[in-house]
């Protein structure tokens, strides 16, 4: 199963494609879509949408997992990131892909085993899980890979639970 993990943003969208075969999760491609500061939001959103549709078409994921947004201060940032998240969801839904969402705490729990883990701990565990030479940069990329790994683990658990419940 190929999973696309996304850390949404208006300036930087982190993405990570991983393949899950059995209990093994391997990286396929990861990086970020960046937009220029001081560019009108509508142009930035278009760039994010176009970039994501090209990635989805090229790497053909079977599922997309997003980190749920959490803001406690800056409403302006929350609005623009929410808009970017909307166009990212649209890109996936238009291609018939199932969407999953995980809170930052759920991602940390799945990756580190502790829901209040530090960002550096999550990044190092992503590096170790995927056997990477270094932590992916910028941070948004490591976050996207963490979301993809979280979904890979959660999907397996949810599939087994559904099997048991169907019996």
Residues known to be catalytic: 7, 67, 140
Alpha-carbon torsion (147, 64, 98, 67), positive or negative: positive
Q: Do 19 and 148 form a contact (C-beta atoms < 8 A)? A: no
Q: Which two tokens stand for residue 131?
A: 């056997």
CA–CA separation, 130 and 155 (whole Å)? 18
Backbone angles phi, psi at 28, to 5 degrees: -110, -55
CA–CA separation, 68 and 82 (whole Å)? 10
């Amino acid at each position: 199963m190929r999973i696309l993990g996304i850390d949404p943003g208006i300036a930087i969208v982190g993405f990570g494609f991983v393949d899950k075969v059995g209990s093994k999760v391997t990286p396929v491609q990861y990086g970020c879509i960046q937009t220029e500061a001081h560019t009108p939001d509508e142009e930035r959103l278009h760039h994010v949408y176009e970039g994501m549709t090209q990635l989805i078409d090229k790497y053909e994921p079977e599922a997309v997992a997003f980190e749920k947004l959490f803001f406690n201060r800056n409403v302006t940032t929350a609005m623009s990131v929410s808009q970017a998240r909307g166009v990212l969801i649209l890109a996936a839904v238009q291609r018939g892909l199932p969407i999953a969402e995980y809170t930052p705490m759920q991602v940390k729990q799945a990756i580190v085993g502790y829901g209040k883990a530090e960002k550096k701990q999550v990044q190092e565990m992503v590096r170790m899980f995927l056997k990477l030479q270094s932590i992916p940069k910028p941070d948004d990329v490591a976050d996207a890979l963490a979301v993809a790994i979280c979904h890979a683990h959660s999907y397996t658990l949810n599939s087994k639970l559904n099997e048991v419940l169907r019996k």
